[in-house]
């Protein structure tokens, strides 16, 4: 089976000896397996990265994805995890060196997929914070589906574009941060301004509420904590409060 396996992802390699029809080689027959494997993996990549496939265009995406598949064939039957290192692959892929924003789209789509399959876990209720004694000293446990991504590119716009580049109205010079969450069963992506990003990044980093507010004020002295805290509740970014000196129940890693 070794020769059979090797020839599947290597079009230059001949079909293995002794495999064919009535003892004779049959390249077109072997090609059905080759085609099934490559088409199946390409389909998995397209399902994982629909925004990238749209922005790059189907043919261009398939070409790059084929190179990725050859370099990184799956190592698990859990196809939902397939293609994880695609962002890093795109970053080091020379023909796309002039499109560095593609890797960030891949990161956002991977975070979206991870959120989609994340463990079912309740989000933090506003009442928990309201009834806390010293809220400013508390830190927050990120929800298992939540992911904050900062980009030098307009990541929110690119994630939602779903059309082939160049996309009208998208300014590549604009930096955007996004928050990907799944408060119930549906994933959501939220665009964050600079102060909200600083605030949430500090909380994701397990800083206290007070420190997070200070960070946000440094980013923008017009920062309004109430609005940012409401945003954190509405998106389901966190699942519990952490008191500095006590242990809380954590979702499984």
Partner 1 sequence: MTATILSANLPPSAFSAEPLPPRAGVGLKAQHVDDILAANDGKGADIGFFEVHAENYMGAGGKPHDQLRRIRERYPLSVHGVGMSIGGAQPIDPEHLARFKAVVEHYQPGMVSEHLAWSTHDDVFYNDLLPLPYTDETLQMVVEHVDEVQNAIGRQILIENPSTYVTFAESAWNEFEFMKEVAKRAGCGLLFDVNNVYISATNHDYSPEAYIDAYPLEYVQEIHLAGHASDRDDDGNPLLIDAHDRPVSSDVWTLYRRTLARTGPLPSLIEWDNDVPEWPVLEAEAATAGQILGSNRVRPETAQQLA
Contacts to partner 1 by CB under 8 A: 1-2, 4-5, 8-9, 15, 18-23, 26-30, 32-33, 36-37, 40-41, 44, 73-82, 84, 115-121, 144, 182, 185-186, 252-253
Complex with partner 1: residue 120 or 218, whichever CB lies closer: 120
Nearer to partner 1, 6 or 174 (CB): 6
**Conformation bin of residue 185: beta by default, left when phi > 0, alpha when psi is -120 to 50:** alpha
Q: Name the E strands within 168-235.
A: 177-181, 188-192
Supply the minimum distance, in Å, between the C-beta of residue 186 and partner 1: 8
Nearest to partner 1 of 84, 150 (CB atom): 84
Cβ proximity to partner 1: between 5 and 175 the closer is 5
Q: Which is nearer to partner 1, 19 or 217 (CB)?
A: 19
Query: 117: closest CA among 40, 187, 46, 180?
Result: 187
Give me the residues paired with residue 188 across strands.
181
- The least distance separating partner 1 from the CB of residue 143, rounded to whole angstroms, comes to 12
66 contacts: CB under 8 Å, gap ≥ 6 = 38, 42
Least distance CB 230 / partner 1 (angstroms): 25
Among residues 158, 145, 131, 144, the alpha carbon closest in space to that of 55 is found at 158
Q: How far is the CB of 50 from partner 1 (least distance, A)?
A: 15
Residue 18: HSE in the Cβ half-sphere, 13 Å Cα cutoff = 4
At residue 158, the 3 state secondary structure works out as helix
Give me the least distance between CB of 80 and partner 1, in Å please: 6
CB atoms within 10 A of CB 233: 16
Distances, alpha carbon 132 to alpha carbons 142, 150, 249, in Å:
18, 30, 17
- Whichever of 184 and 224 has its CB closer to partner 1, that residue is 184
Least distance between partner 1 and beta carbon 24 (Å): 9
């Amino acid at each position: 089976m070794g020769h059979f396996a090797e020839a599947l992802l290597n079009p230059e390699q001949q079909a293995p000896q002794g495999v064919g029809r009535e003892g004779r080689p049959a390249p077109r027959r072997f090609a059905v397996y080759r085609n099934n494997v490559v088409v199946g993996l390409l389909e998995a990549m397209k399902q994982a990265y629909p925004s990238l496939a749209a922005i790059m265009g189907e043919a261009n995406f398939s070409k790059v994805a084929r190179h990725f598949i050859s370099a990184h064939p799956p190592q698990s039957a859990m196809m939902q995890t397939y293609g994880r290192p695609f962002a890093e692959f795109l970053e080091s892929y020379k023909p796309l060196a002039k499109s560095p924003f593609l890797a960030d789209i891949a990161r956002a789509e991977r975070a979206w997929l991870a959120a989609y399959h994340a463990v079912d876990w309740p989000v933090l209720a506003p009442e928990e914070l309201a009834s806390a004694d010293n809220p400013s000293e508390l830190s927050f446990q990120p929800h298992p589906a939540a992911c904050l991504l900062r980009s030098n590119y307009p990541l929110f716009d690119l994630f939602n574009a779903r059309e082939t580049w160049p996309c009208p109205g998208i300014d590549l010079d604009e930096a955007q941060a996004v928050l990907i969450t799944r408060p119930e069963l549906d994933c959501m992506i939220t665009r964050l301004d600079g102060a909200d990003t600083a605030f949430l990044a500090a909380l994701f980093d397990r800083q206290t509420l007070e420190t997070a507010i200070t960070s946000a004020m440094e980013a923008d002295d017009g920062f309004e904590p109430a609005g940012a805290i409401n945003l954190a509740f509405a998106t389901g970014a966190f699942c519990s409060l952490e008191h500095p000196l006590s242990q809380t129940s954590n979702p499984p890693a």
